[in-house]
Structure 1
Amino acid sequence: MASNPEIRPDPGPDRIDPQSPPETQPSQAPAEEPMQQPGEIEAPSPDTLQPGQQPTELPPLN
């Protein structure tokens, strides 16, 4: 049993943990990447914002 690490009962970093980071779970990466873009969260720029949304930190470009 112990010689087979693939069928170990203890949850691995990227085997049974659905809440593990996208780095260990390649199947969740494409779903979380577009949502967690540093350009949108840390520094919202007019290019990343969608039409209708106004930048909170930057003044209107009019």
Structure 2
Amino acid sequence: MATQPDTPPNRIEPQSPPEAPPQPAEPEPMHPDETPPLSPDIDEPGIGPDEQPTPL
């Protein structure tokens, strides 16, 4: 069992260096953050066309 837990940490060590390239992935989380603000923005204009069909 001690070998199993030792394997994950060992695998993370070699991944540490490769993690440097993933660093650019950090901006990825920022993209999703931009989605929320964009969602409301799309909702605003969406209400206009949505209201138009209602009066129709």
> Max radius of gyration: which structure?
2
> What TM-score results when the alignment is normalised by the length of structure 1?
0.29
Higher relative contact order (CA 8 A, sep 6+): 1
> What TM-score results when the alignment is normalised by the length of structure 2?
0.31
Q: Comparing both structures, which one devotes a greater share of its residues to helix?
A: 2
